[in-house]
Chain A
Amino acid sequence: MIRRARGAVAALVLAGLVVAPWMVDDYTTAILARTLALALVGVSVALLTGVAGMPTLGQTAPYAAGAYACAVLGSRISDVGVVHVVVAAGAGALLAALTVPLVVHARGVIVLMITLAIGELVVTILGRWRSVTGGTDGLAGIPAVRPFWGLPVLATDQARYLYTLVVAAALVGAVLLLLRTRAGLLLRAGRDDETRLRASGHRVPLQVSGAHVAAGAIAGAAGSLLVVAQQYISPADFGFDTSALLLLGVVIGGTASVGGALVGAALVIAVRDWLFGVLPGHAPLVLGALFVATVYLLPSGVNRARGRLRPPSAPDATAVREHATVPELRA
């Protein structure tokens, strides 16, 4: 019953998203398209933070890698959007694979520190590697793409938005399917009781690495959507505040739920965009206060995430039992 109701709500939201560009003006449509890209990054954050138990503040790194690969390389290879998504996902996965050795042995808050450092270092590189990335000025004048061979070029904000929506929906669907397989089950088992899973012969570091690379690919693909939605990228799109906002959105959404991550991330990003529109001078102050207030109002998120952030050497029986009863990932 609940599952059917949830499915109905999801279908309703999706229908609303499809008709949205005809209900609002072009500017809002463009903002919506960018929010979709960021919500997709939020899904990759949830995959790592909630499902794999690796809280991350660095998913902007593969996101940026995907966006820049798409803008620099993709436009030289082809003008087909699908090719761009593949190039961007490959770049995100490559960056994630390169950083696997840094995070695979760490757990909990240390992953947070390392991923934050990785994300910030990537932004630093983007700002200084002028010959390729255009430095802090960013890359403008990125040519328009066509979604598929033989289709017309995406010329209007509505078309760009719908393209973003279709790709994002397809990728979210792929993540949901992946999490229903044995791999998704093992990933969650590794998060809940790593020692137990290791004892039965499973290679937890390998699973974690796989999740890290997969999340990198999703964030990279989201980067290519950002390029389409915004037609301009700069290091400011991938700052530390974006990571923190996405993590807050994912925590609001319940940490391990893909649907929750989508809604939470979109909500947080929308609030930020709205605040910067109505309060140009004091938006960060209000946003910071909202952060603090939200953290105070988050009992469920705190309880659900508590056990999985413990180091593997000290599994907490009550927390583990809690997880078993928490219905997760029905999105």
Chain B
Amino acid sequence: MIAVAVGTNRIDPYLIPALDGVAYGLLVFVAASGLVVCFGVANILNLAHGTLYAIGGYTAAALLDGGWASLALALAVGVLAAAAAGVLLAGLLTPVAAGNHLTQALLTFGVALAGGSLLVAGFGPDDPQVRVPAALDGSVVVAGHRYAAYRLVFIAVAAVISAALYLVVRRTRAGMLVRAAVDDPEMVACLGVSPARIRAGVLAAAGALAGAAGVLGAPIIGPGTDTADTVLLLSLVVVVLGGLGSMAGTLLAALAIGEIQTLGVALLPSAAPFLLFAAMAAVLAVRARGLAARWGAT
């Protein structure tokens, strides 16, 4: 405590970026967890994942009017729409399920291209404004600084979502099936669980997570024409850095990326464009051999 009090002046200007980094990191985690599940279980590189997030973001922009009811409505609609898009994607993937990753990835890219075009056609080419509930529109004072109330609440909500996700994956039957399917898909199929159903369920869950992240994160990474690309890139970097399939690793990687994108930019503005690249290069180069062993098994 004493050290913190003494150091306050020096760390003071970086407190807000650091807090922003936590919000950003948790948002990226919720978005990326869908990609992790999708990749880990269904073994599909879902290039349409950013589009699923954008569905949530556009829903939030269209439905939010400053009241709590509209937030609940937007969350419900966004999650359902993105989950439905996930199921649709699973349906499209069924005919090529026996094929290779390359064609599956290309198929999801085609869906992303078409989906992005439909979103722009439906909501217009301009980046829409997102109105957060009026009660959260102001700012609160954190350690002597003003900070957007919405982001503070978002940190709490995203932490709850992350904890719930952990419990679902660890403790429920669905979570156990999902983990079992990662380890041994043939055995799970022998137990009488259809791989197609697991794939549909996983893509729906991935869509729901991305949709929830899109609605709640719309004031942070707002909907727009390049949202899908941005979210896909951040999620990919996080999934790769997190060690592909480990939820705890993904969370750590997401928080690190969040801090790099906010605190790192505040500390080293001239190096800002290279920070994300350098972080990925450094971690991958250091962990390459350890990860190779794990990747060999996927």
Contacts and interface: CB of A to CB of B under 8 A. Distances in A.
A295 interface: yes
Contacts of A282: 117, 121
B276 A124 contact: yes
B102 A292 contact: no
A248 B110 CA distance: 10
Contacts of B274: 125
Interface in A29-58: 49, 55, 57
Q: Tell me the interface secondary structure of chain A in the complex.
A: helix
Contacts of B229: 120, 239-240
B291 A105 contact: yes
Interface string B172-189: 000000000000000000
A146 to B, nearest CB: 34
Interface string B275-298: 011001100110011011001111
A109 interface: yes
A177 interface: no
A323 interface: no
Given A128-B273, A311-B295, A301 B103 contact: yes
A244 B240 CA distance: 19
Interface stretch (A62-70, A111-119, A180-188, A221-229): A111-119
A112 B113 contact: no
Interface size class for chain B?
35 or more
Q: Could you say which of B47, B102, B284, B296 has the most chain A C-beta atoms within 10 Å of its C-beta?
A: B102
Interface size class for chain A?
35 or more
Given A101-B288, A105-B295, A110-B295, A291 B107 contact: yes
Contacts of B117: 282-285, 288
Given A291-B109, A291-B110, 7 more contacts: A101-B281, A105-B288, A112-B101, A240-B229, A285-B113, A288-B111, A292-B92
9 contacts: A105-B291, A106-B291, A117-B237, A255-B102, A288-B109, A295-B104, A296-B96, A302-B103, A306-B99
